[in-house]
């Protein structure tokens, strides 16, 4: 069977992809770490590129697993190694690479997520076993040496066994990286352990590898712990749907094959296959994996259910609203994929720092060995009269200067934050989003769909004269069932909840820009705007009708001698006011930017206690408002959901999209996504980002402080290797544990 992670095995398939994919010029990839980037030239459909690449990678992987032969790479293609990765290029002119645009692409992650999850669990357990063996053999050697138990060689044997156990995993990593021409921290640790053994410091070498292997196990446990919540989302994705046919029969089909409008049966305990609307039955759903809400959410006819959430107790028949690829759960999965490829500037700095620092410290340590030996006359290899040898000092310097804790200080905090947020419906698209959100001092919010639900609901039914409200609703419900606009959906949903009896409608037609009409119960019924009355035979009577209440929308019903209206209003989210009050308490300026009419916007603003309301704005006006704040030196977070919000989301310092209602345009511009449209999660995200930033500062202080103090002490020969080992590994473990507090405590008051 071919090695599925060997880069050469992937080359033929990727070469074929480059040949077929228009606009793709080169691929830089590492199959082992499952990272891949594509260079493109000219305009290209990014979604098509990602889709085709994912299909190619899955096909290659399937072929490798089954032992297939993917052919050979054409000789005209150029293959090279760049920074430990393989670069595959199409034949082109020498100027083309200067025009390439590189794009990081997600590796197909459904199988990878499950594999990483299982591998992560087994890996930290295996590392813990090795660390335990190293500690046991090291302790045995210490007691044998200290208390002269057995022959002199017995303690050395125990120390050697400890070193073998502690070095087992680092040796695998070092040998793999050396083949790629890279040296890392594992190499430094092995060099110190071997060096300590060569000068007879068996105890220090064993102690170093025990603490190093223990901290590695702890680091992998922290990684496993943070990924566990994220990977649970991948595992919760349904695989099949039980479709109800028109003849009453049932059949299972793959979730990917479900089409909008198809009816499905969902039994108690099953996951909802796709986002859908309940058409029969009552139940409750567990939406904790999407929204973080622990309490079950009741579901009745007309309510929406989300893919991947669990039907708790009642059998339901639901109607698919959108394909599986566009479901709430798949949005989360795609956004998490993006987050894993987007890194904060500070994180990228520490990664580059860690790589170059390894070579730098090796050079400095080698130079200091000769300075101590030839410059200050310190014995080269043997400790004399309580004075440490030059080599011993070099090994100590190598240990205390190794940047393990520094390299882990930022990504560990970001990964923990992304995991905590994903479990609660907050999706950070990389560490940069967390870093930037903590710096925000102005929050601009759209009204419809952000501070309000964006869905109209019927608040009141009136008839003139009073007493015929039920008939008004029945006629409106019967006619609007044939329409498909926001007002119609709200009226139909209200009619279903009220249990209104549907009347038979003939001759239904739409009156452009005004309403609808049809024959109901042998009479013409007209539904629409107030203007319908003002222009018809009821014109004189219409002049005496009550005015429209502020912030409401009205729909009039005219049937023979019956006249009535339905009053609808966009519902304010219950959590909007507490969120705005808390943001104000934190010193953050809040402003509403909306395209709605001023009366409606000010009514909502007054209800929420929001003093700054800017209404009637076009998309370019919203952008201008955000840019004005930026010119004042403010850092703006824009929260929106619609296509008209996409330009100002792009202009904001941090773009935040409502994930449930959010359009593709808004989601593509967003750096933070609030799933299920929970505006209170913006406050949670902000508090989490502030806490993460504090944790990062603490981690940097711990790592840099330890390196600074211990390097200075090591240069002057003031610390033994044993103390250096404790300081280095202790700071690494402390950084990991400190970052894990974000998982345990999550959002805490700022």
For 257-306, write each residue's pLDDT tens digit: 888 899 999 988 888 888 899 999 988 887 755 554 545 678 888 888 88
Task: Give every strand in the sheet of 283-286, ordered side by side.
Answer: 297-299, 283-286, 310-311
CA distance 402 to 724: 10
More confident call, 490 vs 218: 490
CB-based contact 184:355 (threshold 8 Å):
yes
For the stretch 92-124, pLDDT in tens is 777 778 788 888 787 765 444 444 544 555 677
Residue whose structure tokens are 């009226």: 491
For the stretch 492-523, pLDDT in tens is 989 988 888 889 888 888 775 567 889 998 88
- Dihedral-angle region of residue 391 (phi above 0 means left; psi in -120 to 50 means alpha; beta otherwise): alpha
Residues 6+ apart with CB under 8 A from 427: 332, 335, 336, 339, 421, 659, 672, 673, 674, 675
Report which listed range, 119-123, 127-131, 720-724, is most confident: 127-131
More confident call, 671 vs 199: 671
More confident call, 744 vs 603: 603
CB-based contact 285:305 (threshold 8 Å):
yes
Residue 415: is its pLDDT beyond 60? Answer: yes
For the stretch 134-161, pLDDT in tens is 989 989 998 998 888 888 889 999 999 9
Q: What's the confidence (pLDDT) of residue 642?
A: 62
Core vs surface per residue 414-449: b (16+ CB within 10 A) or e = bbbbbbbbbbbbbbbbbbbbbbbbbebebbbbbbbb
Q: What is the dihedral of CA 434, 435, 438, 443, to 10 degrees?
A: -70
Banded model confidence at residue 660, pLDDT cuts 50, 70, 90: low
Residue 678: is its pLDDT beyond 70? Answer: yes
CA angle 718, 720, 726 (to 5 degrees): 115
Q: What's the confidence (pLDDT) of residue 347?
A: 45
CA atoms within 13 A on the CB side of 627: 10
CB-based contact 722:204 (threshold 8 Å):
yes
CB-based contact 652:638 (threshold 8 Å):
yes
Quickly list H helices, 568-653.
Answer: 576-585, 598-608, 619-631, 646-651
For the stretch 386-396, pLDDT in tens is 788 888 888 88
Residue 227: is its pLDDT beyond 80? Answer: no
CB-based contact 4:61 (threshold 8 Å):
yes
Residue 74: is its pLDDT beyond 70? Answer: yes
Lowest-pLDDT range of 84-88, 116-120, 224-228, 307-311: 116-120
Q: What's the confidence (pLDDT) of residue 634?
A: 93
680 carries an active-site annotation:
no
Q: What's the confidence (pLDDT) of residue 164?
A: 92
Would you list the DSSP string of 395-437? HHHHHHH--HHHHHHTHHHHHHHHHHHHHTTEEESSHHHHHHH
Banded model confidence at residue 2, pLDDT cuts 50, 70, 90: very low
Q: What's the confidence (pLDDT) of residue 416?
A: 81
Q: Both tokens of residue 10?
A: 């992937």
Q: Which of 7, 446, 596, 641 is catalytic?
A: 446
Residue 643: is its pLDDT beyond 90? Answer: no
CA angle 595, 599, 602 (to 5 degrees): 80
Q: List C-alpha distances in Å: 330 to 485, 642, 740.
A: 26, 19, 27
Average pLDDT of every residue of the chain: 80
Reduce the DSSP state of residue 1 to 3 states and report it.
Answer: coil
For the stretch 246-258, pLDDT in tens is 888 888 888 878 8
CA distance 404 to 394: 18
More confident call, 664 vs 690: 690
């Amino acid at each position: 069977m071919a090695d599925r992670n060997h880069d050469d095995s992937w080359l033929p398939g990727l070469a074929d992809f480059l040949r077929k994919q228009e606009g793709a010029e080169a691929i830089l990839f590492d199959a082992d770490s499952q990272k891949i980037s594509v260079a493109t030239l000219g305009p290209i459909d990014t979604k098509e590129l990602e889709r085709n690449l994912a299909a190619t990678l899955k096909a290659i992987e399937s072929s490798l697993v089954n032992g297939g032969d993917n052919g050979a790479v054409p000789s005209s293609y150029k293959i090279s190694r760049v920074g430990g990765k393989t670069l595959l290029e199409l034949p082109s002119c020498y100027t083309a690479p200067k025009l390439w645009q590189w794009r990081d692409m997600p590796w197909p992650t459904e199988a990878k997520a499950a594999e990483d999850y299982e591998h992560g669990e087994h890996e930290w357990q295996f590392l813990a076993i090795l660390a335990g063996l190293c500690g046991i053999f090291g302790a045995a050697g210490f007691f044998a040496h200290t208390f002269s138990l057995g022959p002199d060689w017995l303690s050395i044997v125990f120390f050697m066994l400890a070193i073998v156990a502690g070095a087992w995993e680092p040796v695998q990593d070092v040998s793999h990286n050396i083949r790629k021409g890279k040296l890392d921290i594992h190499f430094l640790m092995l060099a110190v352990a071997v060096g300590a053994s060569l000068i007879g410091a068996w105890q220090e070498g064993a102690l170093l590898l025990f603490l190093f292997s223990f901290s590695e196990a702890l680091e992998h446990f922290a990684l496993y712990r943070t990924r566990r919540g994220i990977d649970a989302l991948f595992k919760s994705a349904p695989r099949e749907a039980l479709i109800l046919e028109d003849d009453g029969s049932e059949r299972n089909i793959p979730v990917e094959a479900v089409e909008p409008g198809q009816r499905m049966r969902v039994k108690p305990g099953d996951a909802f296959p796709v986002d859908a609307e309940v058409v029969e039955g009552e139940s409750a759903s567990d939406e904790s994996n999407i929204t973080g809400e622990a309490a079950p959410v009741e579901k009745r006819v007309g309510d929406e259910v989300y893919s991947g959430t669990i039907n708790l107790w009642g059998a339901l028949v639901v109607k698919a609203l959108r394909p599986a690829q566009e479901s709430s759960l798949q949005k989360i999965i795609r956004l998490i994929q993006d987050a894993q490829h987007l890194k904060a500037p500070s994180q990228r700095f520490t990664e580059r720092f860690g790589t170059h620092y390894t070579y730098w410290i090796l050079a400095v340590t080698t130079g200091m060995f000769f300075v101590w030996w030839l410059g200050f006359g310190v014995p080269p290899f043997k400790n004399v009269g309580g004075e440490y040898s030059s080599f011993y000092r070099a090994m100590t310097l190598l240990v205390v200067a190794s940047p393990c804790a520094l390299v882990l200080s930022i990504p560990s905090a970001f990964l923990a934050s992304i995991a905590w947020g994903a479990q609660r419906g907050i999706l950070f698209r990389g560490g940069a989003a967390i870093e930037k959100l903590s710096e925000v001092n102005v929050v601009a919010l759209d009204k419809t769909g952000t501070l309000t639900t964006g869905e109209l609901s019927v608040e009141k039914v009136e008839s003139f004269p009073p007493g015929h409200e039920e008939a008004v609703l029945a006629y409106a419900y019967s006619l609007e069932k044939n329409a498909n606009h926001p007002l119609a959906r709200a009226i139909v949903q209200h009619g279903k909840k009220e249990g209104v009896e549907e009347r038979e409608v003939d001759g239904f037609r739409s009156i452009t820009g005004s309403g609808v009409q049809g024959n109901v119960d042998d009479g013409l019924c007209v539904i629409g705007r107030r203007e319908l009355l003002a222009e018809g035979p009821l014109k004189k009577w219409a002049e005496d009708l009550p005015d429209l209440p502020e912030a409401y929308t009205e729909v009039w019903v005219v049937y023979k001698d019956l006249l009535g209206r339905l009053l609808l209003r966009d519902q304010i989210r219950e959590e909007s006011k507490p969120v705005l009050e808390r943001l104000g308490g934190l010193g953050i300026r809040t402003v509403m930017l909306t395209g709605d009419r001023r009366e409606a916007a000010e009514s909502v603003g007054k209800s929420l206690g929001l003093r700054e309301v800017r209404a009637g704005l076009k998309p370019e006006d919203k952008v201008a408002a955000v840019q004005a704040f930026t010119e004042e030196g403010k850092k703006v977070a824009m929260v929106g959901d619609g296509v008209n919000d996409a330009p100002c989301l792009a202009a904001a310092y941090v773009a935040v999209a409502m994930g449930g209602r959010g359009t593709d345009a808004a989601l593509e511009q967003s750096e933070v996504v609030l799933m299920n449209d929970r505006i209170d999660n913006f406050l949670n995200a902000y508090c989490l980002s502030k806490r993460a930033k504090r944790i990062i500062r603490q981690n940097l202080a711990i790592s840099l402080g330890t390196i600074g103090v211990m390097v200075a002490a090591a240069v002057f020969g003031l610390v033994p290797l044993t103390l250096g080992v404790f300081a280095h590994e202790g700071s690494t473990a402390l950084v990991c544990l400190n970052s894990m507090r974000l998982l345990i405590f999550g959002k805490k008051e700022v």
